[in-house]
Chains A and B, each alone.
Chain A
Amino acid sequence: MNGARRSDAIVVGAGIVGAACAAALARDGWRVTILERSFASSGTTSVGMGHLVVMDDSPEQIALTKYSLRLWRELTPILDRRAELDACGTLWVAEDEAQLEALRAKRELYATADVATEVLDAQALCEAEPNLRRDLAGALRVTHDSVVYPPGATLRLLDDARKHGAVVRDGIDVEAIVPNGVRLANEVLRADIVVNATGPWAPRLTPALPITPRKGHLAITDRYPAFCRHQIVELGYLSSAHVMTSESVAFNIQPRSTGQVLIGSSRELVGWDAQINREILRRMLQRASHFMPGLGDLSVIRCWTGFRPATPDKLPLIGPWDPIPGLWIAAGHEGLGITTSLGTARLLADQIAGRAPEIDPGPFSPMRALAAVHS
């Protein structure tokens, strides 16, 4: 789109991924309309933690999360207060000597990917986070990881899209995606391209997408400034996240800029049942108290659940969807959609514009879902 002809793009879904895609396309000169079923970030975006994290589950995941972290840093100067960006870093904590060994391997992995880290021994860990249990073995600090308030960041991205001509329409239910357009209740909207960015709901519009809702619980406390200073995650988190078991909990805690403490995490495969599961919540809070005994003295003011858009190979679906002309997919980010929203948008916009993406888009091609069915 070199300025001459501004073509039409429709982005379905105003979560953080849709907002980032809309902003990237609008900046490329597309005439963008964002169609949102409810209101901006009313789905998965508003119920997650907002941890901007380099995750090392696979080389592809490191590549996308690391690329996205760089894009977040580039965005920092134009983020406003609503985004509550806090470059607090992540502490991956090891409980014993065996985990310490795993921590060293993790450090090597990050070093290979050129991600800055620092090892904290038991003493340094106590000093960095006095409310952690005193007998932990150590921790790996990932220096440039950060925390953001996802709905605030989404509003900022939507402002950016609007500044470049995009129109956001709330309360619009897309009934179907058709070749070069979408069908609403009473009309068909035409566009050169359509982006399905509806997170865990993406299969409702593109049924062949292998995305499953993976439920999570979170709890937030009243304000206790400096109770913790980093996002702190137990080393076992990744195995909890990686294995598609029916349920698991892992210690994952985050300081909010308000002084509140956000406590996670849980994973369940129970369809769309959004009710609080008291047993899972109890296990999740027990796990957190196991690492931070003082948590029991804080008041939790709210608990809630949400649905991550999980895929079988733990990678998001980003790219063209050949069966429907003009359709592109940006969905299936599981628990990393806040981090990878910016990388996703750039990968998508680069491919649409025919530019060479900075990282290999191949592993993220949604077409692998069809290949898996036919193989």
Chain B
Amino acid sequence: MSDAVEIVVNAKVLRVEPGVTVASALLNDDHHVFRRSTTGDVRAPVCGMGICYECRVTINGIAHQRACMVIVEHGMRVDTGNAP
């Protein structure tokens, strides 16, 4: 992965393939907690195509972004429901 893209997930640096979605990047790195419901239940992608809104994460400080609809960019900051 010489042309890998570096993103920061919950303060941990991740090297991922260019052109993948944030959802793919997280799942490939075994992140399964994308967000939490009002009652604290774990949520992760269901549809992978922008419909179900289950994969929402905070990207560059903006809450409720659909991880399956955003392509990774160098230096991107992603915070999930497991963020410290």
Contacts and interface: CB of A to CB of B under 8 A. Distances in A.
Interface of A: 222-224, 258-259, 297, 299, 301
Interface of B: 38, 53, 56, 62-64
B13 to A, nearest CB: 27
B83 to A, nearest CB: 14
A224 B38 contact: no
12 contacts: A222-B56, A222-B63, A222-B64, A223-B38, A223-B63, A223-B64, A224-B63, A258-B38, A259-B38, A297-B62, A299-B64, A301-B53
Contacts of B38: 223, 258-259
A224 B38 CA distance: 12
Contacts of A301: 53
B2 to A, nearest CB: 37
Closest 4 CB pairs of A and B: A258-B38, A222-B64, A299-B64, A224-B63
A256 B56 CA distance: 20
Contacts of B53: 301
Nearest to A221: B64
Contacts of B64: 222-223, 299
Nearest to A224: B63
Nearest to A301: B53
Nearest to B53: A301
B78 to A, nearest CB: 17
A7 B59 CA distance: 63
A171 to B, nearest CB: 29
Contacts of A224: 63
A25 to B, nearest CB: 34
